[in-house]
Structures are given as structure tokens and as C-alpha cells.
Amino acid sequence: MRKAQTLAEAAESPTSTRDRILDAAARIFRDKGYADSTMNDLASALNMKAASIYYHFKSKDEIVEQVLNEGTARVFRSVKCAIAQLPDDVNAKVKIGVAIREHLHVLHSDSDYTAANVRIFPEAPTDVVKRHMFERRLYSKFWVELIELGKKAGEIDQSVDAEMAHMFIVGAMNWSTQWYSPKIHNIEDMSDAVDSLVSKGLFTSGP
């Protein structure tokens, strides 16, 4: 997890065992998916035995729920923060460009939680997914509002369905977890490609 801690915790123990388990789970879920990651896999990565994990979590489902929620929370927090730091008068086009860059950056080089979230979401237990949808809806709402902002300002055509458009944009980026390789691609180029596609499409309209 490695999020905000009390000063005392930060002083003596850099991360709690609970958080170390979650960190390992996020990385392993990202790499192998949910079903193929066993409690023993998590324990081995931490030089522990599987039974010890049950002192910190009551079930595998509790772990996956934490990883899912933290994954969405992290990308949302980073994107929100990046946009908040822009001058007040920037237009929707710039804001969406920043959101694209930040989303891809968190997904591929900042947070195992977000990458794990994208991978394990479809195979997570039904009741876990049900509760997790609350977090996802908040993040979706943020994107939809960015697009609506552009529509109000006349930057984006009124005929654009903001719900759908945001799904295609975020989906295109999330799908990159299936093909992105740091040895072949780099995040800057990917960001430019998505930003350009969203800004002006693939085709040159000019003469």
C-alpha cells in the first residue's frame, strides 16, 4: 500500500506487513491474473508461509478487493492532482491531454495496483466487483465531466456521446497493458499517439 501513515509508523517501520502483502499481491496479480495467483505465491514472494497471511487478511477475496480499490484510487488521485496543478484558464483539450499522459504513466510505470486492477477486474468475485464499482464510477464521472466541459466550451461537438467517448479513450489505454513492453515502446510516444488520436483523429482533414 505505502500510503499515508502516522509519524510513529513512518519512523519505526517503513511499511506494515499488511501493506507488504498488498504490494506483493498487486505485483503478482498484475503478472499472473487472479485465479493463477495462489496464497502460496504471495507468501513466497515475502519469505513467508501461506498460513501467515491469514493473520492479516481473512481471505483471498479481502486482498483482491483492497488491490482493486487501491488501483482505481491511485490513478484517479494522480490524474485529478495533475489537472489541478494546471492554470485555471487552460482549455479542455489541454486537460484531457494531461489526463491521458497521467493515466498511462500511472498504469505502466507508477502503480502495480492500477495495472493489476485492469487485469483482474473481469475475474474478480461478483460481490467484490459490485462494491468496487463505486470507485470506478467516480473515476468515470471525472472523465465524462472533462468531455462535457469541452462540449460546453464549444471545443467538442455537441453530437459527441461523452459516456461512450470516455469508455473508448480509457479502454484504448487500458488495453495497452496487453501489448506494452518497456523494451519496445515508451510511455511518451504512447501518450502522444493517444493524445493525437483524440485531438485530431488519424486522418488529415486539410487539403
Partner DNA sequence: GTCTATACTTCGATAGAC
Partner DNA sequence: GTCTATCGAAGTATAGAC
Binding site for its own copies (CB under 8 A): 33, 35-36, 93, 96, 119, 121-123, 147, 150, 154-157, 160-161, 164-165, 167-176, 178-179, 185, 189-190, 193-194, 196-205
**Structural contact between residues 37 and 28, judged by C-beta atoms closer than 8 angstroms:** yes
C-alpha cell at 83: 489537472
Minimum distance between the CB of residue 43 and DNA, rounded to whole angstroms? 7
**Structural contact between residues 68 and 132, judged by C-beta atoms closer than 8 angstroms:** yes
C-alpha cell at 5: 501513515
47, 50, 161 from 78: Cα distances, Å? 32, 33, 25
Residue 52 partner contact from DNA, its own copies, none using kind-dependent CB cut-offs of 5 to 8 Å: DNA
Minimum distance between the CB of residue 47 and its own copies, rounded to whole angstroms? 26
Minimum distance between the CB of residue 61 and DNA, rounded to whole angstroms? 6
Q: Which is nearer to its own copies, 9 or 36 (CB)?
A: 36
Residue 43 partner contact from DNA, its own copies, none using kind-dependent CB cut-offs of 5 to 8 Å: DNA
Residue 175 partner contact from DNA, its own copies, none using kind-dependent CB cut-offs of 5 to 8 Å: its own copies
| Cβ count near 85 (within 10 Å) | 8
Residue 154 partner contact from its own copies, DNA, none using kind-dependent CB cut-offs of 5 to 8 Å: its own copies
Task: Say how far apart CA 93 and CA 187 lie, in whole Å.
Answer: 19
**Structural contact between residues 144 and 161, judged by C-beta atoms closer than 8 angstroms:** no
